[in-house]
Amino acid sequence: MTRSSVKKTTKKTKASTPKKQYVYAFGKKTDGNTTMRELLGGKGANLAEMASIGLPVPPGFTVSTEVCGYYYDNDQSYPSSLLATVKSAVVDIENQLGKQFGGHSNPLLVSVRSGARDSMPGMMDTILNLGLNDKTVDGLAEISKNPRFAWDCYRRFIQMYGDVVMGVQAKNDSEEDPFHAVLEKLKSSLRIELDADLSTENLKELVKRYKALITKRTKSAFPQDVMEQLWGAVGAVFGSWKNDRAILYRQQYGIPAEWGTAVNIQAMVFGNAGNDSATGVAFTRDPATGEKVFYGEYLINAQGEDVVAGVRTPNAIANLEKEMPKSFKDLEKVRSRLEKHFKDMQDFEFTIENGRLFILQTRNGKRTGLAAVRIAVEMQKERLMSQETALLKIPAESIDSLLVPVFDPKSLKAAHKIGQGLPAGPGGATGRIAFTAAKAEIETRRGNKVVLCRTETSPDDLKGMLHSQGILTSRGGVSSHAALVARQLGKVCVCGAGDVVINYEKGTLTAGKTVLKEGDYISIDGSTGLIYAGMIESTDSEVKRVLEGGMKPANSYTYELFQIVMKWADKHRTLKIRTNADTPAMAAQAVAFGAEGIGLCRTEHMFFDGDRIDYMRQMILAVDEVQRRSALRKLLPFQKKDFVGLFKAMNGRPVTIRLLDPPLHEFLPQDDAVRRQLAEKLGVPFDYVIDRIKALHEENPMLGCRGCRLGILYPEITEMQTRAIFEAAAQVLKGKKGIKVKPEIMIPLVGFREELADQLKTVHRVAKEVMANRKVRIEYLVGTMIEVPRAAITADEIAQEADFFSFGTNDLTQMTLGLSRDDMGLFYDEYQRKEIYNKNPFASLDQTGVGKLIDLAVDKGRRTKPTLKLGICGEHAGDPSSIDFCHRAGLDYVSCSPPRVPIARLAAAQAKLRNSKT
């Protein structure tokens, strides 16, 4: 082969597969920016952005999320070019700082940090002070003229590396962290209480013991080669993407497993270099309430996780003004610069090294629902964002936190106050004390309300926190893990309650003279930080009180915020919002929340009250039409009365009424005593009742005689219900107020055009009769639910008979997935763990599967009948991402439960805004 031909081939391969860029620098030269989160992760993208606008960011580089994908696709290995690229990126940092990685005189130390597209605080691993070994530690001691500091860094590094990379961890729940045990043993033998009192010599001894621990546990020595350290750390960060905590977190927030994490490698700066050094976390506004105040905390002479870990309770940021006035000023400047640049509330990490400020991270701050609303509204006012952006910035679910109950002021006054902590997640929570996450889970599963009380929480407590009403910690500040997670989960939280002592061994919580045990009731107010013994009653939120007339609008800022956001939402959305309501009270509540109609009134709920159930049972047990009709005649006035109430409450808005749907056995008594009473009441022999119940037995009632099959089998049921609807409509129309009525009659469980046609005949006939009798004209529609896959597939045929379709996505999901909602308990956890379902398909619409059927039905239905009205009435109608789907699918309305109406209004506006952007 000639030389030129070799060259040619190389060139050719290069041209056909252009070399992928896996590494992106930030610092003097910056490759990335804030829009590149997918590739660089949130942390990496924002480090790049901050570096490029001249904020003081220590230099470094990001290994992209694509490498994470490669790592998992290729048996935990790396692309071949990566080794050299990383090496040269390290050289770039060395050159910028005049330090050497592994150098003995002026060593470069780095942090190796995880960073996914969406931040997953504390869920994945980060390693600090990497690059220290037995030689470089001396170099660092000398150049810093601070041996204690150098050895402090070294012991921190060995501990983190030993834990995260080499897996030296507690073997079970009851074992103490082994590094912690070694440290405590040394401290107690020296009679030292605080880490800060350990001398250089003590730290050297600690390093020795840590190394011995690692060797003993892993049978290999702590690595001295800095490159080996670096690759070990990179592997551990990628590995942490699939740890249990991260998986659980992804589940909770619907983050796909494919995203992967990036790895950020960055020069270290040191908040532990002396008393002119510090580290902290700050928010540009209060993330709990949304108020525009500088918020956060710091620790002097500390590093990294010290603040977040909640081991020492840090100082409030306001104190920094006194302690380090110059740095505080610098920090204030950064605060306003960050908000103006990122145009949102920022949560940022900083370190002060010998009086010099560095910024280590910024991201849009996680906030409570209340804060999300307030910040969006106020930032729009300040012109930091447009109305559209402000709307998109509020997670639709946040609206809920303006509507949840709060402590009743009267019972709050009478409550027994026992202590106070930092208010970290607003709202009131009452429940039994649980000292462990596991206990919280057990109690909640038993149906008890729980307040999780811990000295501090760690990422392993996430599950227990999810199960709790509120979280109380005795240590740690407002940026501690507990506070952070509580804000994100919308949980009530009081943290750093110094006057509360929790003793796990004794199982007590002591505050002053009060001693509470696990299982006792406690109440915490996350808006004031106050802690109370016993239970406190709750009352309606301010918004609800205003809406119901119990409070003046002018007295509630929360209500004002609510109104502003709802007004904006209504301006932008095109989807109409209806509600699922069966009673006038539910309907009235939904209307107050902004519902524009009823999308689903379930008539079966109307058959349970008082005497009605007897007539219903009589109807079911009837042997022939004559008996059935006689029972139905007794039911008619009740149904009619219910519809009158509903039509009045809806005051002219459309009302969709579904005819009887559930399998009949649901109405029949289960136990013999009640069956005997029934027989007596109906004047039939007990055996007769038993025989009829046997005859009605079905192996699989969900797929048996229910829905329109009932009406087809017993047309007199359809007849009675239709009559009740039209009689009620006539009465309301002719009433004094002349309220308009728009009934929409919905036939359930249709799969064949002929089924609908059959029922239509009865409906139209009875409607005509009533209208003629009463001499009124009632505008009405008759349509069907689309909940059987066959209905979606033959929607073109069914549309010939129907005025409207309403997607019943609960049944449609059950039947499309072949999965009963009530029987998924046995395997659901495993499915979640294996991430087979990203989200529960009954909570959030399976858009790729069930969604296809909806798209198909919409298309076929409208082709047959362009005026066909389309809606959804399954539980998915209250879920923001499903609402987004409904918007895209071109539905006319979504119909959700009354309390979710405000969320749906906002989600519908967001869907419109999101999908009209190009």
Residue 114 C-beta: closest distance to ligand ADP, Å: 6
- Per-position x/- string for 34-53, each x denoting binding to Mg ion as judged by CB under 5 A, each - no binding: --------------------
- Per-position x/- string for 325-364, each x denoting binding to Mg ion as judged by CB under 5 A, each - no binding: ------------------------------------x---
The window from 255-263, 322-330, 389-397, 779-787 that contacts Mg ion (CB under 5 A) reads 779-787
Residue 156 C-beta: closest distance to ligand ADP, Å: 10
Q: Which is nearer to Mg ion, 27 or 808 (CB)?
A: 808
Place of tokens 């949102």: 344
Does residue number 808 form part of the binding site for Mg ion (CB under 5 A)?
Answer: yes
Residue 541's binding partner, choosing from ligand ADP, Mg ion, none, with beta-carbon cut-off 5 to 8 A by kind? Answer: none
CA–CA distance, 697 with 686 (Å, rounded to integer): 17
Asked if 876 and 882 count as a contact pair (C-beta separation under 8 A), the reply is yes
Residue 663's binding partner, choosing from Mg ion, ligand ADP, none, with beta-carbon cut-off 5 to 8 A by kind? Answer: none
Residue 426's binding partner, choosing from ligand ADP, Mg ion, none, with beta-carbon cut-off 5 to 8 A by kind? Answer: none
Q: How many CA atoms lie within 13 A of 166 on its CB side?
A: 25
Q: Which of 904, 901, 900 is nearest to 884 (CA)?
A: 904
Task: Give how far the C-alpha of residue 827 lies from the chain's centroid of Cα atoms, to the nearest Å.
Answer: 22
Residues 313-316: contacts with CB under 8 Å, at least 24 apart: 313/475, 313/476, 313/477, 313/496, 313/498, 314/280, 314/477, 314/479, 316/477
CA–CA distance, 849 with 843 (Å, rounded to integer): 14
Residue 30's binding partner, choosing from Mg ion, ligand ADP, none, with beta-carbon cut-off 5 to 8 A by kind? Answer: none
Q: Which is nearer to ligand ADP, 122 or 162 (CB)?
A: 122
Distances (CA, A) of 549 to 154, 293, 539: 64, 32, 15
Residue 817 C-beta: closest distance to Mg ion, Å: 14
DSSP 266-287: EE---TTSSTT-EEEEEESS-T
DSSP 581-621: -SSHHHHHHHHHTT--SEEEEEGGGGGSSTTHHHHHHHHHH
Active site residue 896: no
CA–CA distance, 153 with 917 (Å, rounded to integer): 49
Count of residues that bind Mg ion according to CB under 5 A: 4
Residue 269's binding partner, choosing from Mg ion, ligand ADP, none, with beta-carbon cut-off 5 to 8 A by kind? Answer: ligand ADP
Both tokens of residue 706?
A: 């229910």
Which listed residue (467, 481, 572, 887) is catalytic? 481
Residue 347 C-beta: closest distance to Mg ion, Å: 9
Residue 700: count of CB within 10 angstroms of its CB: 8
SS3 at position 470: strand
Q: Which is nearer to ligand ADP, 269 or 575 (CB)?
A: 269
Active site residue 481: yes
CA–CA distance, 283 with 484 (Å, rounded to integer): 12
Residues 61 to 120: which contact Mg ion by CB under 5 A?
Answer: none
Q: Which is nearer to ligand ADP, 304 or 743 (CB)?
A: 304
Both tokens of residue 109?
A: 């130390």
Task: Give how far the C-alpha of residue 371 lies from the chain's centroid of Cα atoms, to the nearest Å.
Answer: 16
Q: Which is nearer to ligand ADP, 361 or 718 (CB)?
A: 361
- Per-position x/- string for 809-848, each x denoting binding to Mg ion as judged by CB under 5 A, each - no binding: --x-------------------------------------
Q: Which is nearer to ligand ADP, 269 or 415 (CB)?
A: 269
Asked if 813 and 878 count as a contact pair (C-beta separation under 8 A), the reply is no
Residue 72: count of CB within 10 angstroms of its CB: 16
Q: Which is nearer to ligand ADP, 55 or 433 (CB)?
A: 55
Helix (H), strand (E) at residue 487: helix 481-489
Which listed residue (873, 876, 887, 896) is catalytic? 873
Residue 163 C-beta: closest distance to ligand ADP, Å: 14
Residue 313 C-beta: closest distance to Mg ion, Å: 19
Does residue number 240 form part of the binding site for Mg ion (CB under 5 A)?
Answer: no
Q: Which is nearer to ligand ADP, 351 or 814 (CB)?
A: 351
Residue 266's binding partner, choosing from ligand ADP, Mg ion, none, with beta-carbon cut-off 5 to 8 A by kind? Answer: ligand ADP
Place of tokens 């990496």: 44
Give the interface with ligand ADP as residue ranges (CB under 6 A). Answer: 58, 111, 113, 121-122, 126, 128, 266-269, 279, 304-305, 349, 351, 360-361
Residue 128's binding partner, choosing from ligand ADP, Mg ion, none, with beta-carbon cut-off 5 to 8 A by kind? Answer: ligand ADP
**Catalytic residues, which ones?**
481, 873
Which residues contact Mg ion by CB under 5 A?
A: 361, 787, 808, 811
